[in-house]
Amino acid sequence: MILDTNALSAWADGNPACRAAFAEASRLVVPTIVLGEYYYGIRQSRHRKRYEEWLAQNLPFAEIHPTSDTTAIHYADLRLHLKTTATPIPANDLWIAAMTTELDIPLLSNDSHFDLIPDLIRLAF
């Protein structure tokens, strides 16, 4: 399962609502885009040290997935689809959706705009 930024935050905070999804996942993937958003968020947090320590301890349990030329092709196709249907989503989320489409695995996120992406399976928590 791919983690959106809100799912990575929920994991870090021990949110019980996402435990079932983590228990069922055979694979955890953190896109570099999500990692960048998360680092940006914790840089502003008064709990920065705690989150950085949590990340250092737990990130090894996940695959960090970079964007690739294949991701870029999915991004272009999805962006064009969303433009023609007049349903844009935030730019970083479009990259996350492209990676989810590329890897063909579910996305854990509470952001319902991912439901606009054809064939994307979003797991809410």
**Residue 34's domain spans which residues?**
2-123
pLDDT at residue 34 in the model: 98
- Dihedral through CA 46, CA 42, CA 25, CA 59, nearest 10? -110
**pTM metric for this prediction:** 0.93
Looking at the structure of the chain, the number of domains it has is 1
Residue whose pair of structure tokens reads 């983690």 in the numeric block: 3
- Dihedral through CA 115, CA 116, CA 118, CA 123, nearest 10? -10
pLDDT digit string, tens, across residues 46-80: 999 999 999 999 999 999 999 999 999 999 999 99
Q: For every one of its 125 residues, what pLDDT tens digit does the chain have, with 9 covering 90 and above?
A: 999 999 999 999 999 999 889 989 999 999 999 999 999 999 999 999 999 999 999 999 999 999 999 999 999 999 999 999 999 999 999 999 999 999 999 999 999 999 999 999 999 99
CATH of the domain at 63: 3.40.50.1010
State the chain's mean pLDDT as an integer.
Answer: 96
